[in-house]
Amino acid sequence: MKRKLLSILFMMNIVVGPMYGSTLEDEFRAIGFVDVSTLSPDIKVELMYGRDDNFTGHVMYDGLDKAWLHPDAARAVAKAQEELSRLMPGFSLLIKDAARPMSVQRKMFNAVKGTAKANYVANPAKGGGLHNYGVAVDITIADPNGNEIDMGTQVDHLGIEANIDREEVLVKNGVMSENARQNRLLLRRIMKNAGFSTIRTEWWHFNLVSKARAREQYKLLDF
């Protein structure tokens, strides 16, 4: 009954709130979000915030190992995987983070508040970011053996080496290889063709819509 009521509130454009005693997967499932791997089994998932070896140094997700997204975003990622499979058979998109509820956003921001790292985390007091609507994804590419291909930096690297507008200079200065630059271009090509847009500072981050549109058409994941 609680799950049915929450689904009704979601459809009525009401901010999504928590179900008592539920897990994050219960919450995502109840509001109609999609486990992306069910749309395309070729997509791989390795949530970087499910471990403590991320830029915060802390585990952000407990017991979550699937990538959940709003259906619009999930279908777009599956479309990107289709193009990748055509271009490079055996290669897979590898999702590192997907929908992120506000409870996790607050936990993440508090972990880096007062440090330079806070500049890389959307402030929950200001409405958070597009991960908090389920329409953003952090993603890279894995080879047929499951290894991440060279992108010049690891996902979530904090620094200019991750900036997409400095790649030619980084190659020229020997900071990254031309092969890594081409891999980034491939990722951007297939994600843009699927409907996503980039941000300047993080080669791995893609948004389906603008923040303004997300506020108008999607629900803040306030659980």
- Taking the C-alpha atoms of residue 159 and residue 163, their distance in angstroms, rounded to an integer, is 7
Residue 22 is predicted with a pLDDT of: 84
Determine what percent of the chain is predicted with pLDDT higher than 70. 91
User: Does the pLDDT at position 135 exceed 90?
Assistant: yes
**pTM confidence score:** 0.90
Judged against a pLDDT cut of 70, whether residue 141 lies above it is answered with yes
pLDDT band with cut points at 50, 70 and 90 for residue 131: very high
Q: Does residue 10 surpass a pLDDT of 80? A: no
Closest by CA to 128, choosing from 114, 107, 111, is 107
Indicate the pairing of strand 205-207 with strand 197-198: antiparallel
Confidence of residue 13 (pLDDT cuts 50, 70, 90): very low
| DSSP secondary structure, 10-28, as one string | HHTTPPB-PPTT--HHHHH
Whether residue 11 is predicted with pLDDT greater than 50 in this model: the reply is: no
Strand partners, 205: 138
pLDDT tier for residue 9 given thresholds of 50, 70 and 90: very low
Share of the chain above pLDDT 90, in %: 89
Taking all residues of the chain, what is their mean pLDDT, rounded to a whole number? 92
What does the pLDDT read at residue 182? 98
Helix (H) / strand (E) element for 198: namely strand 197-198
Of 160, 173, 207, 168, the C-alpha closest to 184 is 168
